Amino acid sequence: MLIFIYSKLATLKAIYNMKKIILKESQLVDITERVIKEQFSGDPNAFTTDVKDVSIYGLNKYFTEYGDRDMDVVYTNCYVKWRYDMDIRSWGIKDVSVYTTSVVINATVEIYDEDYTKVEVEKEIELVVDEMGGFSSDKEGEWSYEDEMSDDLFSHSVFPTDLEIDMETKTVHVRWN
């Protein structure tokens, strides 16, 4: 990092017609901290992808007060927050990991009357699944997500393509391109 800063200072020195720039140690530390903050303030390895292909199952288990009434999902606004990490060695890249950090689910469900003739009520689903990092919880009633990736994941673009949300088992399956 200091080499980077020194090279930038050398460039500045050349720009200013070879004028000498003298920095105190505290000033150099301040510059270093600012560069580091800039570099990591927006994580370049993190992404948020809006997912349009969303399937929701087990709505009757989620809205138990409506029993076995007919329910339709009429609106979804779901996105996956994810990131990638690389294990870099002197000889090259050993491994690339792509994984979900959270799934945000917003949906509107229409619940029909007992005769299945008209919509009796609309219900909202608002979930943020980020607690377990992809592993099931030992606690009953906790949500989890699972990353489902194909073997040829890195042969083309990488992004989450669809979600399967199971209200009964409280799992979200994130499928990747």
Query: Percent of the chain having pLDDT more than 70?
Result: 69
pLDDT at res. 40: 42
Is 124 or 42 the better-scoring residue by pLDDT?
A: 124
Is the pLDDT at 41 greater than 90? The verdict is no
What residue spans define the domains of the chain?
A: 2-41, 46-176
- Residues 125-143, buried b or exposed e (16+ Cβ, 10 A)? bebebeeeeeeeeeeeeeb
User: 171-176 and 144-148: which strand pairing?
Assistant: parallel
For the chain, the straight-line distance linking the first and the last C-alpha, in angstroms and rounded, comes to 35
Beta bridge partners, 172, equal 145, 165
Note the pLDDT tens digit of each residue in 97-119: 888 888 999 999 999 988 888 98
Note the pLDDT tens digit of each residue in 72-99: 999 999 999 888 888 888 877 788 888 8
pLDDT confidence bin for 44, thresholds 50/70/90: confident
Segment of 3-7, 76-80, 158-162 carrying the highest mean pLDDT: 76-80
